[in-house]
Chains A and B, each alone.
Chain A
Amino acid sequence: MRAEARREALSGWLFVAPALAVLAVFFVGPVAAGFLLGLTDVDLYALGGVGAWRFVGLRNYGRLLADPIFWQALRNTFFFVLVGGPLTMAAALGAALLLDAKATRLKGLFRTVLFAPVVTTLVAVATVWRFLYNPRAGPLNLFLSFVGLGPVNWLGDAQWAMPSLVLMAVWKNFGYGMVLFIAGLQAIPESLHEAARIDGAGAWTRFRRITLPMLRPTLLFVGVITTIGYFQLFAEPYVMTGGTGGPNNATLSVALLMYKQGFRFWDMGAGAAIAFLLFLVILGASTLQVRLQKGSDA
Protein backbone atom coordinates (compact mmCIF):
# COMPACT_ATOMS: atom_id res chain seq x y z
CA MET A 1 0.00 0.00 0.00
CA ARG A 2 2.80 2.45 0.87
CA ALA A 3 4.59 1.62 -2.32
CA GLU A 4 1.42 2.44 -4.19
CA ALA A 5 1.07 5.78 -2.42
CA ARG A 6 4.67 6.59 -3.27
CA ARG A 7 4.08 5.66 -6.87
CA GLU A 8 1.02 7.92 -7.00
CA ALA A 9 2.96 10.80 -5.45
CA LEU A 10 5.74 10.38 -7.99
CA SER A 11 3.25 10.32 -10.86
CA GLY A 12 1.60 13.42 -9.45
CA TRP A 13 4.82 15.40 -9.52
CA LEU A 14 5.74 14.06 -12.96
CA PHE A 15 2.34 15.18 -14.26
CA VAL A 16 2.65 18.75 -13.01
CA ALA A 17 6.37 19.08 -13.79
CA PRO A 18 6.21 20.10 -17.48
CA ALA A 19 3.58 22.81 -16.92
CA LEU A 20 5.36 24.00 -13.79
CA ALA A 21 8.68 24.18 -15.64
CA VAL A 22 7.12 26.37 -18.35
CA LEU A 23 5.48 28.62 -15.77
CA ALA A 24 8.65 28.84 -13.66
CA VAL A 25 10.97 29.70 -16.54
CA PHE A 26 8.67 31.95 -18.57
CA PHE A 27 6.47 33.52 -15.92
CA VAL A 28 7.54 33.27 -12.26
CA GLY A 29 11.23 33.79 -13.02
CA PRO A 30 10.62 36.83 -15.25
CA VAL A 31 8.20 38.33 -12.70
CA ALA A 32 10.91 38.12 -10.02
CA ALA A 33 13.51 39.42 -12.48
CA GLY A 34 11.12 42.22 -13.42
CA PHE A 35 11.11 43.41 -9.85
CA LEU A 36 14.94 43.47 -9.85
CA LEU A 37 15.08 45.03 -13.32
CA GLY A 38 13.02 47.94 -12.00
CA LEU A 39 15.88 48.68 -9.61
CA THR A 40 18.47 48.93 -12.40
CA ASP A 41 19.23 51.34 -15.21
CA VAL A 42 19.38 48.74 -17.98
CA ASP A 43 18.87 50.34 -21.38
CA LEU A 44 19.61 49.60 -25.02
CA TYR A 45 23.37 49.94 -24.48
CA ALA A 46 23.49 47.66 -21.44
CA LEU A 47 21.47 44.81 -22.92
CA GLY A 48 24.58 42.60 -22.86
CA GLY A 49 23.46 40.33 -20.05
CA VAL A 50 22.66 40.18 -16.39
CA GLY A 51 26.31 41.02 -15.65
CA ALA A 52 25.77 44.48 -17.10
CA TRP A 53 22.81 45.35 -14.85
CA ARG A 54 23.62 48.31 -12.65
CA PHE A 55 21.72 48.69 -9.41
CA VAL A 56 20.26 52.16 -8.92
CA GLY A 57 17.91 51.52 -6.00
CA LEU A 58 14.57 53.26 -6.21
CA ARG A 59 15.73 55.90 -8.66
CA ASN A 60 13.39 54.68 -11.43
CA TYR A 61 10.45 54.91 -9.07
CA GLY A 62 11.49 58.37 -7.91
CA ARG A 63 11.78 59.50 -11.52
CA LEU A 64 8.36 58.09 -12.40
CA LEU A 65 6.57 59.59 -9.43
CA ALA A 66 8.02 62.97 -10.35
CA ASP A 67 6.93 62.63 -13.98
CA PRO A 68 3.60 64.25 -14.87
CA ILE A 69 3.28 61.89 -17.87
CA PHE A 70 3.19 58.89 -15.54
CA TRP A 71 0.47 60.50 -13.42
CA GLN A 72 -1.48 61.32 -16.54
CA ALA A 73 -1.26 57.67 -17.65
CA LEU A 74 -2.36 56.56 -14.19
CA ARG A 75 -5.29 59.01 -14.24
CA ASN A 76 -6.34 57.86 -17.71
CA THR A 77 -6.18 54.21 -16.66
CA PHE A 78 -8.20 54.87 -13.52
CA PHE A 79 -10.78 56.74 -15.58
CA PHE A 80 -11.07 53.74 -17.87
CA VAL A 81 -11.47 51.35 -14.92
CA LEU A 82 -13.75 53.48 -12.75
CA VAL A 83 -16.06 54.61 -15.56
CA GLY A 84 -15.76 51.67 -17.94
CA GLY A 85 -15.97 48.98 -15.25
CA PRO A 86 -19.32 50.00 -13.72
CA LEU A 87 -20.81 50.79 -17.15
CA THR A 88 -19.79 47.37 -18.43
CA MET A 89 -21.27 45.69 -15.36
CA ALA A 90 -24.50 47.66 -15.65
CA ALA A 91 -24.89 46.82 -19.34
CA ALA A 92 -24.11 43.17 -18.58
CA LEU A 93 -26.67 42.99 -15.78
CA GLY A 94 -29.31 44.83 -17.80
CA ALA A 95 -28.87 42.53 -20.77
CA ALA A 96 -28.91 39.48 -18.50
CA LEU A 97 -32.19 40.58 -16.87
CA LEU A 98 -33.81 41.13 -20.27
CA LEU A 99 -32.59 37.77 -21.56
CA ASP A 100 -33.57 35.90 -18.40
CA ALA A 101 -37.13 37.26 -18.31
CA LYS A 102 -39.72 34.49 -18.65
CA ALA A 103 -41.56 36.16 -21.49
CA THR A 104 -38.44 36.53 -23.66
CA ARG A 105 -38.52 34.69 -26.98
CA LEU A 106 -35.56 33.78 -29.21
CA LYS A 107 -33.23 33.75 -26.20
CA GLY A 108 -30.53 31.79 -28.01
CA LEU A 109 -30.39 34.18 -30.95
CA PHE A 110 -30.29 37.29 -28.76
CA ARG A 111 -27.60 35.78 -26.56
CA THR A 112 -25.43 34.90 -29.55
CA VAL A 113 -25.65 38.40 -30.99
CA LEU A 114 -25.03 40.13 -27.67
CA PHE A 115 -22.10 37.86 -26.86
CA ALA A 116 -20.41 37.97 -30.29
CA PRO A 117 -18.21 41.05 -29.60
CA VAL A 118 -16.52 39.17 -26.73
CA VAL A 119 -14.94 36.64 -29.09
CA THR A 120 -13.86 39.15 -31.71
CA THR A 121 -10.22 40.16 -32.04
CA LEU A 122 -9.59 43.40 -30.20
CA VAL A 123 -7.22 44.87 -32.78
CA ALA A 124 -9.74 44.26 -35.56
CA VAL A 125 -12.74 45.76 -33.78
CA ALA A 126 -10.64 48.68 -32.54
CA THR A 127 -9.86 49.30 -36.22
CA VAL A 128 -13.58 49.18 -36.99
CA TRP A 129 -14.42 51.62 -34.19
CA ARG A 130 -11.66 53.95 -35.27
CA PHE A 131 -13.61 54.42 -38.50
CA LEU A 132 -17.02 54.41 -36.81
CA TYR A 133 -15.68 57.37 -34.83
CA ASN A 134 -14.52 59.22 -37.92
CA PRO A 135 -15.75 62.79 -37.33
CA ARG A 136 -16.55 63.49 -40.99
CA ALA A 137 -18.01 60.35 -42.52
CA GLY A 138 -18.24 57.99 -39.55
CA PRO A 139 -21.65 56.35 -38.97
CA LEU A 140 -21.73 57.47 -35.35
CA ASN A 141 -21.74 61.17 -36.16
CA LEU A 142 -24.10 60.49 -39.03
CA PHE A 143 -26.52 58.96 -36.55
CA LEU A 144 -26.05 61.87 -34.14
CA SER A 145 -26.80 64.38 -36.89
CA PHE A 146 -30.05 62.52 -37.63
CA VAL A 147 -31.22 63.13 -34.07
CA GLY A 148 -29.93 66.69 -34.21
CA LEU A 149 -26.74 66.30 -32.17
CA GLY A 150 -23.01 66.54 -32.73
CA PRO A 151 -20.77 66.38 -34.57
CA VAL A 152 -18.37 65.03 -31.96
CA ASN A 153 -14.65 64.82 -32.68
CA TRP A 154 -14.47 61.48 -30.89
CA LEU A 155 -10.83 60.47 -30.97
CA GLY A 156 -9.44 63.86 -31.91
CA ASP A 157 -10.70 65.80 -28.91
CA ALA A 158 -8.82 65.20 -25.64
CA GLN A 159 -12.13 65.49 -23.74
CA TRP A 160 -13.82 62.80 -25.81
CA ALA A 161 -10.96 60.40 -26.55
CA MET A 162 -11.08 58.45 -23.29
CA PRO A 163 -14.91 58.22 -23.19
CA SER A 164 -14.70 56.91 -26.77
CA LEU A 165 -12.42 54.09 -25.65
CA VAL A 166 -14.78 53.36 -22.75
CA LEU A 167 -17.79 53.14 -25.07
CA MET A 168 -16.00 50.68 -27.30
CA ALA A 169 -14.83 48.61 -24.33
CA VAL A 170 -18.37 48.38 -22.95
CA TRP A 171 -19.57 47.16 -26.36
CA LYS A 172 -16.76 44.61 -26.58
CA ASN A 173 -16.96 43.21 -23.06
CA PHE A 174 -20.45 43.36 -21.59
CA GLY A 175 -21.38 39.97 -23.08
CA TYR A 176 -18.90 38.22 -20.82
CA GLY A 177 -20.51 39.46 -17.60
CA MET A 178 -23.94 38.96 -19.14
CA VAL A 179 -23.36 35.21 -19.53
CA LEU A 180 -22.20 34.92 -15.93
CA PHE A 181 -25.12 36.98 -14.66
CA ILE A 182 -27.58 34.79 -16.55
CA ALA A 183 -26.09 31.73 -14.84
CA GLY A 184 -26.34 33.54 -11.50
CA LEU A 185 -29.95 34.57 -12.11
CA GLN A 186 -30.93 31.03 -13.02
CA ALA A 187 -29.50 29.78 -9.73
CA ILE A 188 -31.89 31.97 -7.71
CA PRO A 189 -34.77 29.76 -6.52
CA GLU A 190 -38.07 30.83 -8.05
CA SER A 191 -39.73 30.26 -4.67
CA LEU A 192 -38.00 33.35 -3.26
CA HIS A 193 -39.60 35.58 -5.87
CA GLU A 194 -42.90 33.75 -5.42
CA ALA A 195 -42.93 34.35 -1.66
CA ALA A 196 -42.05 38.02 -2.10
CA ARG A 197 -44.78 38.42 -4.70
CA ILE A 198 -47.33 36.99 -2.27
CA ASP A 199 -46.11 39.53 0.27
CA GLY A 200 -46.93 42.20 -2.28
CA ALA A 201 -43.37 43.16 -3.28
CA GLY A 202 -43.10 44.92 -6.65
CA ALA A 203 -40.52 44.18 -9.35
CA TRP A 204 -38.11 46.86 -8.17
CA THR A 205 -38.25 45.74 -4.52
CA ARG A 206 -37.73 42.13 -5.54
CA PHE A 207 -34.73 43.17 -7.67
CA ARG A 208 -33.16 45.06 -4.78
CA ARG A 209 -34.02 42.64 -1.98
CA ILE A 210 -33.65 39.28 -3.71
CA THR A 211 -31.87 39.47 -7.06
CA LEU A 212 -28.99 41.77 -6.11
CA PRO A 213 -28.10 40.05 -2.79
CA MET A 214 -28.31 36.60 -4.40
CA LEU A 215 -26.04 37.77 -7.23
CA ARG A 216 -23.35 39.03 -4.84
CA PRO A 217 -20.74 36.35 -5.54
CA THR A 218 -21.21 36.74 -9.30
CA LEU A 219 -21.04 40.54 -9.03
CA LEU A 220 -17.78 40.24 -7.11
CA PHE A 221 -16.28 37.80 -9.60
CA VAL A 222 -17.26 39.83 -12.67
CA GLY A 223 -16.15 43.01 -10.91
CA VAL A 224 -12.70 41.67 -10.09
CA ILE A 225 -12.13 40.13 -13.54
CA THR A 226 -13.29 43.30 -15.30
CA THR A 227 -11.14 45.52 -13.09
CA ILE A 228 -8.01 43.42 -13.61
CA GLY A 229 -8.59 43.37 -17.37
CA TYR A 230 -9.33 47.08 -17.67
CA PHE A 231 -6.24 48.10 -15.73
CA GLN A 232 -4.19 46.43 -18.47
CA LEU A 233 -5.66 48.70 -21.17
CA PHE A 234 -3.30 48.63 -24.14
CA ALA A 235 -4.51 47.57 -27.58
CA GLU A 236 -7.41 50.05 -27.74
CA PRO A 237 -5.33 53.21 -27.44
CA TYR A 238 -2.50 51.62 -29.44
CA VAL A 239 -4.68 50.87 -32.45
CA MET A 240 -7.01 53.86 -32.26
CA THR A 241 -4.34 56.52 -31.79
CA GLY A 242 -1.58 55.03 -33.93
CA GLY A 243 0.48 53.90 -30.94
CA THR A 244 0.84 57.37 -29.45
CA GLY A 245 -1.79 57.50 -26.71
CA GLY A 246 -2.87 60.87 -28.10
CA PRO A 247 -4.32 63.38 -28.55
CA ASN A 248 -1.96 65.09 -26.14
CA ASN A 249 -1.55 61.90 -24.07
CA ALA A 250 -5.29 61.84 -23.37
CA THR A 251 -5.48 58.06 -23.98
CA LEU A 252 -2.01 57.11 -22.75
CA SER A 253 -2.51 54.11 -20.44
CA VAL A 254 -0.04 52.70 -17.92
CA ALA A 255 0.55 49.58 -20.04
CA LEU A 256 1.08 51.69 -23.17
CA LEU A 257 3.55 53.91 -21.28
CA MET A 258 5.38 50.79 -20.12
CA TYR A 259 5.53 49.52 -23.70
CA LYS A 260 6.88 52.83 -24.96
CA GLN A 261 9.50 53.16 -22.22
CA GLY A 262 10.60 49.53 -22.36
CA PHE A 263 10.36 48.58 -26.02
CA ARG A 264 10.48 51.88 -27.91
CA PHE A 265 13.01 53.85 -25.88
CA TRP A 266 14.62 50.68 -24.45
CA ASP A 267 14.67 52.22 -21.00
CA MET A 268 14.02 48.81 -19.48
CA GLY A 269 14.56 49.80 -15.86
CA ALA A 270 11.83 52.42 -16.07
CA GLY A 271 9.57 50.06 -18.05
CA ALA A 272 9.91 47.36 -15.41
CA ALA A 273 9.21 49.85 -12.64
CA ILE A 274 6.01 50.94 -14.41
CA ALA A 275 4.92 47.32 -14.78
CA PHE A 276 5.55 46.67 -11.11
CA LEU A 277 3.55 49.75 -10.07
CA LEU A 278 0.71 48.54 -12.30
CA PHE A 279 0.84 45.19 -10.51
CA LEU A 280 0.63 46.91 -7.10
CA VAL A 281 -2.35 48.96 -8.25
CA ILE A 282 -4.15 45.85 -9.54
CA LEU A 283 -3.37 43.89 -6.39
CA GLY A 284 -4.61 46.76 -4.23
CA ALA A 285 -7.80 47.19 -6.23
CA SER A 286 -8.72 43.48 -6.21
CA THR A 287 -7.98 43.19 -2.49
CA LEU A 288 -10.14 46.23 -1.84
CA GLN A 289 -13.03 44.76 -3.83
CA VAL A 290 -12.90 41.48 -1.95
CA ARG A 291 -12.63 43.31 1.41
CA LEU A 292 -15.57 45.57 0.66
CA GLN A 293 -17.63 42.55 -0.26
CA LYS A 294 -16.68 40.71 2.94
CA GLY A 295 -17.34 43.86 4.96
CA SER A 296 -20.84 44.30 3.60
CA ASP A 297 -21.59 40.63 4.23
CA ALA A 298 -21.01 41.03 7.96
Chain B
Amino acid sequence: MRRRGRTLLLHAALSALALATFFPLAWMFSVSLMPQGEASAIPPALVPSRPTLEHFRALFLRLDLGRAFLNSALIAGAVTALSVFLNALAGWALAKLRFPGRRRLFSWLLASMVVPGQVAMLPLFLLLRSLGLVNTMAGVVVPAAASLFGIFLIRQYALSIPDELLEAARVDGAGEFRIWWSVALPLCRPALVTLALFTFVGTWSDFMWPLVVLTDESKYTLPVALASLVGEHARDVELMMAGSVLTVLPVLVLFLALQRHYIAGITMGSVKE
Protein backbone atom coordinates (compact mmCIF):
# COMPACT_ATOMS: atom_id res chain seq x y z
CA MET B 1 0.00 0.00 0.00
CA ARG B 2 2.84 2.37 0.87
CA ARG B 3 4.53 1.49 -2.36
CA ARG B 4 1.43 2.36 -4.35
CA GLY B 5 1.21 5.72 -2.66
CA ARG B 6 4.80 6.39 -3.56
CA THR B 7 4.32 5.40 -7.17
CA LEU B 8 1.36 7.73 -7.35
CA LEU B 9 3.39 10.59 -5.88
CA LEU B 10 6.20 9.89 -8.33
CA HIS B 11 3.88 10.13 -11.29
CA ALA B 12 2.15 13.20 -9.90
CA ALA B 13 5.51 14.97 -9.62
CA LEU B 14 6.55 13.90 -13.11
CA SER B 15 3.24 14.97 -14.60
CA ALA B 16 3.42 18.37 -12.93
CA LEU B 17 6.95 18.87 -14.23
CA ALA B 18 6.01 17.73 -17.72
CA LEU B 19 2.96 19.99 -17.74
CA ALA B 20 4.99 23.01 -16.65
CA THR B 21 7.62 22.22 -19.29
CA PHE B 22 5.05 21.72 -22.00
CA PHE B 23 2.93 24.76 -21.21
CA PRO B 24 5.02 27.50 -22.92
CA LEU B 25 5.12 25.51 -26.17
CA ALA B 26 1.44 24.61 -26.03
CA TRP B 27 0.56 28.23 -25.30
CA MET B 28 2.65 29.36 -28.26
CA PHE B 29 0.79 27.00 -30.62
CA SER B 30 -2.59 27.92 -29.20
CA VAL B 31 -2.08 31.68 -29.36
CA SER B 32 -0.68 31.50 -32.90
CA LEU B 33 -4.13 30.31 -34.01
CA MET B 34 -6.15 32.95 -32.14
CA PRO B 35 -7.90 35.88 -33.78
CA GLN B 36 -6.05 39.11 -33.14
CA GLY B 37 -6.32 40.51 -29.61
CA GLU B 38 -7.69 37.39 -27.98
CA ALA B 39 -4.51 36.53 -26.07
CA SER B 40 -4.21 39.97 -24.52
CA ALA B 41 -7.90 40.44 -23.68
CA ILE B 42 -8.84 40.62 -20.00
CA PRO B 43 -9.17 37.84 -19.04
CA PRO B 44 -6.92 36.40 -21.78
CA ALA B 45 -8.04 33.31 -23.67
CA LEU B 46 -6.04 30.11 -23.41
CA VAL B 47 -7.69 28.37 -26.35
CA PRO B 48 -8.66 30.10 -29.63
CA SER B 49 -12.42 30.80 -29.86
CA ARG B 50 -12.21 30.14 -33.59
CA PRO B 51 -8.83 28.91 -34.89
CA THR B 52 -7.43 30.94 -37.75
CA LEU B 53 -4.34 30.86 -39.94
CA GLU B 54 -4.48 34.60 -40.66
CA HIS B 55 -1.22 35.32 -38.80
CA PHE B 56 0.69 32.72 -40.77
CA ARG B 57 -0.74 34.21 -43.93
CA ALA B 58 0.36 37.67 -42.80
CA LEU B 59 3.86 36.40 -42.04
CA PHE B 60 4.28 34.97 -45.51
CA LEU B 61 2.38 37.53 -47.59
CA ARG B 62 2.96 40.80 -45.75
CA LEU B 63 6.15 40.31 -43.77
CA ASP B 64 8.09 38.13 -46.19
CA LEU B 65 9.04 35.57 -43.57
CA GLY B 66 8.91 32.89 -46.25
CA ARG B 67 12.16 34.28 -47.58
CA ALA B 68 13.75 34.12 -44.12
CA PHE B 69 12.53 30.54 -43.85
CA LEU B 70 14.20 29.71 -47.14
CA ASN B 71 17.42 31.49 -46.11
CA SER B 72 17.51 29.52 -42.89
CA ALA B 73 16.89 26.23 -44.67
CA LEU B 74 19.59 26.94 -47.28
CA ILE B 75 22.17 28.06 -44.74
CA ALA B 76 21.50 25.21 -42.31
CA GLY B 77 21.51 22.70 -45.17
CA ALA B 78 24.78 23.99 -46.63
CA VAL B 79 26.54 24.11 -43.27
CA THR B 80 25.35 20.60 -42.45
CA ALA B 81 26.52 19.08 -45.74
CA LEU B 82 29.89 20.84 -45.70
CA SER B 83 30.77 20.37 -42.07
CA VAL B 84 29.68 16.74 -41.83
CA PHE B 85 31.92 16.02 -44.83
CA LEU B 86 34.99 17.85 -43.49
CA ASN B 87 34.55 16.74 -39.87
CA ALA B 88 34.08 13.13 -40.93
CA LEU B 89 37.34 13.23 -42.89
CA ALA B 90 39.31 14.79 -40.05
CA GLY B 91 37.69 12.77 -37.26
CA TRP B 92 38.32 9.52 -39.07
CA ALA B 93 41.99 10.37 -39.66
CA LEU B 94 42.46 11.34 -36.01
CA ALA B 95 41.04 8.00 -34.91
CA LYS B 96 42.33 5.56 -37.48
CA LEU B 97 45.27 6.87 -39.54
CA ARG B 98 48.72 6.97 -38.00
CA PHE B 99 50.54 10.18 -38.85
CA PRO B 100 53.22 12.17 -37.02
CA GLY B 101 51.81 14.89 -34.75
CA ARG B 102 48.39 13.27 -34.52
CA ARG B 103 48.33 13.07 -30.75
CA ARG B 104 49.46 16.65 -30.26
CA LEU B 105 47.05 17.93 -32.89
CA PHE B 106 44.16 16.23 -31.15
CA SER B 107 45.00 17.63 -27.72
CA TRP B 108 45.25 21.12 -29.25
CA LEU B 109 41.85 20.76 -30.86
CA LEU B 110 40.40 19.54 -27.59
CA ALA B 111 41.89 22.46 -25.66
CA SER B 112 40.50 24.98 -28.18
CA MET B 113 36.98 23.95 -27.23
CA VAL B 114 37.05 26.24 -24.18
CA VAL B 115 37.58 29.36 -26.32
CA PRO B 116 34.21 31.10 -26.70
CA GLY B 117 33.22 32.04 -30.24
CA GLN B 118 32.85 35.71 -29.29
CA VAL B 119 36.62 36.11 -29.08
CA ALA B 120 36.90 35.44 -32.81
CA MET B 121 33.87 37.48 -33.84
CA LEU B 122 35.20 40.99 -34.36
CA PRO B 123 38.34 40.01 -36.32
CA LEU B 124 36.29 37.47 -38.25
CA PHE B 125 33.94 40.25 -39.23
CA LEU B 126 36.87 42.36 -40.46
CA LEU B 127 38.26 39.36 -42.35
CA LEU B 128 34.95 38.62 -44.06
CA ARG B 129 34.58 42.29 -44.85
CA SER B 130 37.88 42.31 -46.69
CA LEU B 131 36.82 39.15 -48.52
CA GLY B 132 33.53 40.78 -49.49
CA LEU B 133 31.52 38.15 -47.59
CA VAL B 134 29.67 40.42 -45.16
CA ASN B 135 25.93 40.36 -45.85
CA THR B 136 26.20 37.12 -47.87
CA MET B 137 25.09 33.61 -47.04
CA ALA B 138 28.67 32.46 -47.54
CA GLY B 139 29.62 34.72 -44.63
CA VAL B 140 27.51 32.51 -42.37
CA VAL B 141 28.29 29.18 -44.03
CA VAL B 142 32.03 29.19 -44.64
CA PRO B 143 33.26 29.90 -41.08
CA ALA B 144 31.04 27.03 -39.88
CA ALA B 145 32.33 24.53 -42.46
CA ALA B 146 34.27 22.61 -39.81
CA SER B 147 33.76 22.35 -36.08
CA LEU B 148 35.83 21.14 -33.14
CA PHE B 149 32.83 19.38 -31.65
CA GLY B 150 32.06 17.58 -34.92
CA ILE B 151 35.63 16.32 -35.35
CA PHE B 152 35.61 15.16 -31.74
CA LEU B 153 32.27 13.35 -32.09
CA ILE B 154 33.32 11.42 -35.22
CA ARG B 155 36.70 10.54 -33.73
CA GLN B 156 35.16 9.15 -30.56
CA TYR B 157 32.80 7.00 -32.58
CA ALA B 158 35.44 5.83 -35.07
CA LEU B 159 37.69 4.65 -32.23
CA SER B 160 35.16 1.90 -31.49
CA ILE B 161 35.46 0.42 -34.99
CA PRO B 162 37.83 -2.59 -35.07
CA ASP B 163 40.99 -2.15 -37.15
CA GLU B 164 40.59 -5.58 -38.76
CA LEU B 165 37.86 -4.22 -41.03
CA LEU B 166 40.27 -1.64 -42.46
CA GLU B 167 43.17 -4.06 -42.72
CA ALA B 168 41.02 -6.30 -44.90
CA ALA B 169 40.30 -3.39 -47.25
CA ARG B 170 43.97 -2.38 -47.27
CA VAL B 171 45.07 -5.88 -48.18
CA ASP B 172 42.66 -5.68 -51.10
CA GLY B 173 44.68 -2.67 -52.25
CA ALA B 174 42.07 0.04 -51.60
CA GLY B 175 43.36 3.60 -51.14
CA GLU B 176 42.68 5.46 -47.89
CA PHE B 177 40.06 7.74 -49.43
CA ARG B 178 38.31 4.77 -50.96
CA ILE B 179 38.35 3.00 -47.57
CA TRP B 180 36.94 6.11 -45.91
CA TRP B 181 34.18 6.43 -48.47
CA SER B 182 33.07 2.81 -48.73
CA VAL B 183 34.05 1.33 -45.35
CA ALA B 184 34.35 4.12 -42.79
CA LEU B 185 31.30 6.20 -43.71
CA PRO B 186 28.82 3.29 -43.64
CA LEU B 187 30.26 2.07 -40.34
CA CYS B 188 30.08 5.57 -38.81
CA ARG B 189 26.52 6.10 -39.98
CA PRO B 190 24.95 6.56 -36.53
CA ALA B 191 27.54 9.20 -35.63
CA LEU B 192 27.07 10.92 -38.99
CA VAL B 193 23.29 11.10 -38.60
CA THR B 194 23.72 12.47 -35.10
CA LEU B 195 26.25 15.07 -36.21
CA ALA B 196 24.09 16.12 -39.16
CA LEU B 197 21.12 16.51 -36.85
CA PHE B 198 23.09 18.53 -34.28
CA THR B 199 24.60 20.74 -36.95
CA PHE B 200 21.30 21.43 -38.68
CA VAL B 201 19.44 22.22 -35.46
CA GLY B 202 22.35 24.30 -34.14
CA THR B 203 22.76 26.33 -37.33
CA TRP B 204 19.01 26.81 -37.70
CA SER B 205 18.84 28.24 -34.20
CA ASP B 206 22.08 30.24 -34.24
CA PHE B 207 21.51 33.90 -33.61
CA MET B 208 24.51 36.05 -32.76
CA TRP B 209 26.68 35.47 -35.81
CA PRO B 210 23.91 35.78 -38.45
CA LEU B 211 22.77 38.92 -36.63
CA VAL B 212 26.25 40.37 -37.05
CA VAL B 213 26.97 39.29 -40.63
CA LEU B 214 23.60 39.66 -42.34
CA THR B 215 22.68 43.33 -42.56
CA ASP B 216 20.07 43.21 -45.32
CA GLU B 217 16.54 42.23 -44.30
CA SER B 218 16.22 40.06 -47.41
CA LYS B 219 19.20 37.99 -46.18
CA TYR B 220 17.96 37.47 -42.62
CA THR B 221 17.61 33.98 -41.19
CA LEU B 222 14.40 33.20 -39.28
CA PRO B 223 15.74 33.94 -35.77
CA VAL B 224 17.18 37.28 -36.90
CA ALA B 225 13.99 38.17 -38.77
CA LEU B 226 11.87 37.15 -35.78
CA ALA B 227 13.98 39.18 -33.36
CA SER B 228 13.61 42.26 -35.52
CA LEU B 229 9.84 41.70 -35.90
CA VAL B 230 9.43 41.45 -32.13
CA GLY B 231 10.90 44.93 -31.92
CA GLU B 232 8.31 46.35 -34.33
CA HIS B 233 5.24 44.33 -33.39
CA ALA B 234 5.74 43.99 -29.65
CA ARG B 235 1.98 44.33 -29.05
CA ASP B 236 0.90 41.81 -31.62
CA VAL B 237 1.11 38.66 -29.51
CA GLU B 238 -0.73 36.33 -31.90
CA LEU B 239 1.42 37.34 -34.86
CA MET B 240 4.62 36.91 -32.86
CA MET B 241 3.55 33.47 -31.65
CA ALA B 242 2.90 32.46 -35.26
CA GLY B 243 6.43 33.63 -36.07
CA SER B 244 7.79 31.59 -33.16
CA VAL B 245 5.89 28.50 -34.30
CA LEU B 246 7.32 28.90 -37.78
CA THR B 247 10.84 29.13 -36.33
CA VAL B 248 10.55 26.28 -33.84
CA LEU B 249 8.44 23.80 -35.76
CA PRO B 250 11.02 22.51 -38.29
CA VAL B 251 13.64 21.66 -35.67
CA LEU B 252 11.05 20.29 -33.27
CA VAL B 253 9.66 17.96 -35.94
CA LEU B 254 13.17 16.92 -36.93
CA PHE B 255 13.92 16.13 -33.30
CA LEU B 256 10.72 14.12 -32.81
CA ALA B 257 11.47 12.09 -35.93
CA LEU B 258 15.11 11.38 -35.07
CA GLN B 259 14.99 11.60 -31.29
CA ARG B 260 17.00 8.46 -30.68
CA HIS B 261 19.98 9.81 -32.63
CA TYR B 262 19.78 13.16 -30.92
CA ILE B 263 19.83 11.76 -27.40
CA ALA B 264 22.52 9.24 -28.30
CA GLY B 265 24.63 12.11 -29.59
CA ILE B 266 24.46 13.98 -26.31
CA THR B 267 25.78 11.04 -24.35
CA MET B 268 28.30 10.27 -27.13
CA GLY B 269 29.70 13.80 -26.96
CA SER B 270 30.34 13.47 -23.25
CA VAL B 271 32.37 10.27 -23.40
CA LYS B 272 35.78 10.98 -21.97
CA GLU B 273 38.98 9.72 -23.50
Q: Is B183 an interface residue when CB atoms closer than 8 A count as contact?
A: no
Q: Is A202 an interface residue when CB atoms closer than 8 A count as contact?
A: no
**How far, in Å, is B246 (CB) from chain A's closest CB?**
8
* B119 engages A279 (CB within 8 Å): yes
Which A residues form the contact surface with B (CB < 8 A)? Answer: 5, 7-13, 15-16, 18-20, 22-23, 25-31, 33-35, 37, 47, 49, 95, 98-99, 101, 103-105, 110-117, 119-125, 127-132, 134, 136-137, 139, 142, 171, 175-176, 179-180, 183, 217-218, 221, 228, 231-232, 234-235, 238-239, 242-243, 255, 258-259, 262-263, 268, 271-272, 275-276, 278-279, 282-283, 286
* A282 engages B24 (CB within 8 Å): no
**B31 nearest CB neighbor, chain A only:** A131
State the main secondary structure of chain A at its contact with B.
helix
Which B residues between 202 and 223 are near A, CB-CB below 8 angstroms? 204-205, 207-208, 211-212, 222-223
Which B residues between 126 and 141 are near A, CB-CB below 8 angstroms? 126-127, 129-130
Per CB-CB distance, the 7 closest pairs between chain A and chain B, nearest first, are A12-B99, A15-B93, A33-B123, A12-B97, A11-B176, A30-B120, A123-B223
Q: Is B61 an interface residue when CB atoms closer than 8 A count as contact?
A: no
**A269 nearest CB neighbor, chain B only:** B122
Find chain B residues with CB under 8 A from A127 CB. 226-227, 230, 240-241, 243-244
Which B residues between 222 and 238 are near A, CB-CB below 8 angstroms? 222-224, 226-227, 230-231, 234, 237
**How far, in Å, is A144 (CB) from chain B's closest CB?**
14
User: Could you say which of A27, A31, A258, A259 contacts B143, with CB atoms under 8 Å apart?
Assistant: A27
* A98 engages B252 (CB within 8 Å): no
State the main secondary structure of chain B at its contact with A.
helix
Find chain B residues with CB under 8 A from A142 CB. 43-44
Decide yes or no: A179 and B267 within 8 Å by CB, A119-B255, A128-B24 being known contacts.
Answer: yes
Q: Mark B249-264, 1 if CB is under 8 A from A, else 0.
A: 0011011100100110
**B13 nearest CB neighbor, chain A only:** A98
A-B contact count (CB 8 A): 285
Find chain B residues with CB under 8 A from A217 CB. 272
Given contacts A15-B89, A116-B22, 19 further A-B contacts (CB under 8 A): A19-B90, A26-B120, A26-B124, A33-B127, A34-B120, A98-B13, A103-B6, A104-B11, A120-B25, A125-B244, A136-B42, A171-B20, A175-B21, A179-B267, A180-B267, A217-B272, A235-B223, A258-B118, A279-B115
* B93 engages A239 (CB within 8 Å): no
Which B residues between 94 and 127 are near A, CB-CB below 8 angstroms? 94, 97-100, 102, 105, 109, 112, 114-127
* B148 engages A23 (CB within 8 Å): yes
**How far, in Å, is B108 (CB) from chain A's closest CB?**
9
